[in-house]
Amino acid sequence: MTPPSRSTGGSSRLDVRKTYKLFIGGAFPRSESGRSYEVTDAAGRFWANAAQASRKDARDAVAAARKAFAGWAGRTAYNRGQVLYRVAEVLEGRHAQLSDEVARSEGLGRRQAEATVSASVDRMVWYAGWADKIAQVVGGANPVAGPFFDFSFPEPTGVVAVLAPQESSLLGLVSVIAPVIVTGNTAVVVSSYSRPLPAVTFSEVLATSDVPAGVVNLLTGSAAEIGPWLASHLDVNGLDLTGVDDPDLARSLEESAADNLKRVRRPAPLDLDADPGIGPMKAFLETKTVWHPIGI
């Protein structure tokens, strides 16, 4: 277990401690509410004050995600794959820092924390490789009974609100963000409440990996407080409830989401070691079917 105040370069040097802010529209603002909350490490010791996102931050994040959507969805699949692979590269470069933060957040031993970070990088690489393949796997030509060329292909849903897992502060986070954005959606993510700090470092990775501003927005704070605002927001098209452990809250969020028929991914136990399958991507994909006559 790492000691609470890490000092670098010998025990007499005072370290410069990191500030943990929100990530909205490519920038790192504090909460507009000015609030923060104490984050402790797995042993209960004070670690940092994280920004506590408000409904207005959520509103701003949705606006940023919406603004980024057309551009991100309009990129070639190849380009999105390249960007996600770059995220993996930069994440790999931050291996040591994130291993520290994951170990401290989750109370893991050093080796376990490192394995978790490695798995997160690998998961990012796995999803990067899906960008230019998912259309081939879920799309195709339909042999209709008439002189028409008929084909179906997937399109991203739009802005997806994601309530990230509470326990798995990095691997769980990556596992819910990557499937949303690889296909062209943009995301507003609420991190784990008690283990938010690796998520903030992850947004720094995103900010330095050619991910366009607004494609991922990260709010640290309470899913119970801002979840309802996201679930009822009419400009949000999808809702991922993976991180909601309370079944009553999950149900009420799903009910709110019904107002504009958001596509909802219900909470389910996450097996983070297993092959994720294509379900998480398909949850936020539409299918478009096009007909065209064949004739001279």
Binding site for another protein (CB under 8 A): 77-78, 81-82, 85, 122, 125-126, 128-133, 136-137, 149, 278, 292-296
Please report how close the Cβ of residue 138 comes to another protein at its closest, in angstroms.
10
d(CA 127, CA 119): 12
Q: Which is nearer to another protein, 110 or 133 (CB)?
A: 133
Please report how close the Cβ of residue 132 comes to another protein at its closest, in angstroms.
5
Nearest-10 Cα torsion for 268, 269, 275, 278: 0
Helix ranges (DSSP H) in the chain: 55-74, 77-93, 95-106, 110-128, 134-138, 171-181, 197-207, 223-232, 247-257, 279-282
Q: Which is nearer to another protein, 137 or 258 (CB)?
A: 137
Tell me if 187 sits within 8 A of 215, measured CB to CB: yes
* Beta bridge pairs of residue 218: 23, 189
In angstroms, what CA-CA distances link 206 with 111, 191, 216? Answer: 25, 15, 8
Q: Which is nearer to another protein, 81 or 196 (CB)?
A: 81
Please report how close the Cβ of residue 293 comes to another protein at its closest, in angstroms.
5
Long-range contacts of 134-137 (CB under 8 A, 24+ apart): 134/77, 134/182, 134/183, 134/278, 134/281, 134/285, 135/77, 137/278
Please report how close the Cβ of residue 238 comes to another protein at its closest, in angstroms.
22
Please report how close the Cβ of residue 74 comes to another protein at its closest, in angstroms.
14
Q: Which is nearer to another protein, 122 or 225 (CB)?
A: 122
Please report how close the Cβ of residue 88 comes to another protein at its closest, in angstroms.
9
Tell me if 139 sits within 8 A of 152, measured CB to CB: yes
Q: Which is nearer to another protein, 24 or 88 (CB)?
A: 88
Q: Which is nearer to another protein, 16 or 145 (CB)?
A: 145
d(CA 280, CA 275): 11
Q: Which is nearer to another protein, 34 or 147 (CB)?
A: 147
d(CA 68, CA 16): 33
d(CA 220, CA 212): 20
Identity (one letter) of the amino acid at 250? Answer: A
Please report how close the Cβ of residue 13 comes to another protein at its closest, in angstroms.
37
